[in-house]
Amino acid sequence: MSSSTLNKVPEITLSFWIIKILTTTVGETGADYLAVNAGLGQSVTRTGMALLLAVALFLQIRTRRYTPCIYWLTVVLVSVVGTQITDLLTDDMNISLYLSTFVFAVALGIIFIVWNRSEHTLSMQNIDTRNRELFYWAAILCTFALGTAAGDLATEALGLGFAWGSIVFGSLIAVTYLTWKIGANTVLTFWIAYIFTRPLGASLGDMLTQSRNYGGLGMGAMWTSALFLAVITLLVTQAQIKNGLLNVGRGGK
């Protein structure tokens, strides 16, 4: 199999950002549900999700074109695993959120530097070689871990709370969008917005699932995860159908 493929990621549309934010929320609520509500425990949940992610990544890398159901399944699992990495460092290893946020930020910076020096582009429109795809997924995993740490740092350690955390990170995304509209670099603003969607989704997830005593709405992890997964499934199914029709129009090539 040649390393050269068609672009393996979706177009950056409103639907992309909606699904992305929903997946980040599911990463927060889904991990909590499996580990706590379902009684699997952190170790079993981490191992199981890591194995599922490995399978999903294998399928994603083996495909020769963008396939919505495989791509977004991988993103959901990356979201869960990224959340668990941060939780492992914070809860089990007692590493401060300040330190983990800094470490993940540095790690992401290193990934971008090596990626750019190797491939001379960080563009989402050019994930069309094996190397670029590997760099891409390494960066995605790091953004989820970084976003989880930064979100927890803002809402818990700095005391913003879930509602204000959602407002702050939502506002930062809006500012990033406006800077892009007035001419800021497309690749830079994309990755900044991508990072901010993770703490936004985490803040929304905590606000929906946590009890009212802790500033949440008390919906619970199970119902929040089920609702968001249903919406993700609907949107991804629509994307899969549209993608299939486009491929038929191209003669299946």
- Mean pLDDT lowest among 64-78, 142-156, 186-200, 236-250: 236-250
pLDDT over 50 at 1, yes or no: no
pLDDT at residue 233, rounded to an integer: 92
Decide which of 245 and 11 is more confident.
11
Retrieve residue 76's tokens.
């959901």
Percent residues over pLDDT 70 in the chain: 93
- Mean pLDDT lowest among 112-121, 186-195, 209-218: 209-218
97-121 in b/e burial notation, b at 16+ Cβ within 10 A?
beebbeebeebbeebbeebeeebee
Vertex 127 angle, CA 246 and 253, to 5°: 30
pLDDT at residue 174, rounded to an integer: 95
Other CB atoms within 10 A of residue 230 CB: 11
Contact status, residue 147 vs residue 196, Cβ threshold 8 Å: yes
Read off the pLDDT of each residue in 123-143 and give the average, rounded to a whole number: 91
Domain spans, the chain: 14-249
Read off the pLDDT of each residue in 61-82 and give the average, rounded to a whole number: 91
pLDDT at residue 203, rounded to an integer: 82
- Mean model confidence pLDDT for the chain: 86
Question: If pLDDT is split at 50, 70 and 90, which confidence band does 245 have?
Answer: low
Cα–Cα distance measured from residue 215 to residue 147, given in angstroms and rounded to the nearest whole number: 21
pLDDT at residue 215, rounded to an integer: 67
Contact status, residue 77 vs residue 18, Cβ threshold 8 Å: no
pLDDT over 80 at 211, yes or no: no
Read off the pLDDT of each residue in 226-243 and give the average, rounded to a whole number: 89
Contact status, residue 115 vs residue 124, Cβ threshold 8 Å: no
pLDDT at residue 2, rounded to an integer: 37
pLDDT at residue 4, rounded to an integer: 41
For the entire predicted model, the pTM comes to 0.87
